[in-house]
Amino acid sequence: MGARELGLPAKTPAEGFPDRVTIWEVGPRDGLQNEKEIVPVEVKLEFLDRLADAGLTTLEATSFVHPKWVPQLADAEQLLEGLKQRDGVRYPVLVPNERGLDRAFAAGVKHIAIFASATETFAQRNLNSTLDTQFGMFEPVVSRATEGDIEVRGYLSMCFGDPWEGPVPASQVVAAGKRLLDMGCSQLSLGDTIGVATAGQVEAVLGGFTAAGVPMSALAVHFHDTYGQALANTLVALRCGVSTVDSSAGGLGGCPYAESATGNLATEDLVWTLDGLGIEHGADLDKLVETSAWMAGKLGRPSASRVVNALAR
């Protein structure tokens, strides 16, 4: 751990970045939902506890998707019962529909996320729906949630490329995103579900939202590292003024519906960048690395995070 002991990377702030970034940790949900082997609830609880202990303040804990579709998270209620929630930490839960919202209310959840598609084909494949009926389905979820004092994040997937449709026009993404925000979502997370985006696309989509009057503070970015672009795209988004970034401890995760979609941006690799730029985030890199190395042991394979592999030796 020579490099780390020497306090690298150097803090050399560059212009045009936010002072503080919120890391939206998706490993326990987006990561573990893609594991072939079902992770025991005790391990999930320890994972969440360690991530909170490492200073992360937003931990997407689980999902109320029907267990038939995501058996990996069938223990959602049991997990939430066992969860020792900490002050100052949010534990959002993914909710697919009104039935899921009922479960969220029953479990006393305070933050939920819904998962919409920016493209017709993915709406069809993932939700067995159309774009229009998808939004129709989400409207009562969002209105009932907000009336019940539950904050709602809207995920928008396939914002840059779609495996069936190819590149997605920025105008289409902005139109779909606006519908989620207008519906009452407090934040919109723009997902590159298949990891194909590059810098120009990121700027085009974010520029489209700006032109439509959406402030960057209402947006988050969610990049997958399938083609190695996740961190570079995140850096571009930060420079555009985005200050909430989705990432997954150890780079866990993927998309079960897109064969070549590998993991999320690794939280540790993001933290390395933020540390180097002197951007506040509140997380402790050493604790994150320990946690991800421990989880890699539980999953029986090396971490996908370069930082974890470099520092956990």
Positions touching a copy of itself (CB under 8 A) are 2-3, 6-14, 160-161, 163-167, 194-201, 203-204, 225-229, 231-232, 234-236, 259-260, 262, 266, 269, 272-273, 275-278, 305-307, 309-311, 313
Q: Closest CB to a copy of itself among 63 and 172?
A: 172
Nearest residue to 13 (alpha-carbon basis) of 199, 228, 242, 238: 238
**Catalytic: which of 159, 185, 240, 255?**
255
Quick check: is 159 catalytic?
no
Q: Closest CB to a copy of itself among 115 and 272?
A: 272
Q: Is 175 exposed, middle or buried (0-12, 13-18, 19+ CB in 10 A)?
A: middle
Q: Closest CB to a copy of itself among 187 and 267?
A: 267
Find the largest Cα–Cα distance for the chain.
55
Q: Closest CB to a copy of itself among 106 and 211?
A: 211
Contact call for residues 202 and 240 (beta carbons, < 8 A): yes
Q: Closest CB to a copy of itself among 151 and 165?
A: 165
Q: Cβ of residue 209: shortest distance to a copy of itself, in angstroms?
A: 15
Q: Cβ of residue 24: shortest distance to a copy of itself, in angstroms?
A: 18
The count of other CB atoms within 10 Å of the CB of residue 147 is: 9
Q: Closest CB to a copy of itself among 72 and 226?
A: 226
Give me the long-range contacts of 135-139 (CB less than 8 A, separation at least 24). Answer: 135/179, 135/180, 135/183, 137/97, 138/114, 138/180, 138/183, 139/183
Q: Cβ of residue 268: shortest distance to a copy of itself, in angstroms?
A: 8
Q: Cβ of residue 7: shortest distance to a copy of itself, in angstroms?
A: 6
Question: 260: which residues sit within 8 A by CB, 6+ positions away?
Answer: 194, 226
The count of other CB atoms within 10 Å of the CB of residue 112 is: 23
Q: Is 35 exposed, middle or buried (0-12, 13-18, 19+ CB in 10 A)?
A: middle
**Alpha helix segments (H runs only) across the chain:** 2-5, 41-53, 76-82, 98-107, 120-127, 131-147, 170-183, 199-211, 230-239, 267-276, 285-299, 306-311
Q: Cβ of residue 120: shortest distance to a copy of itself, in angstroms?
A: 15
Q: Cβ of residue 142: shortest distance to a copy of itself, in angstroms?
A: 30
Give catalytic residues, as residue numbers: 255
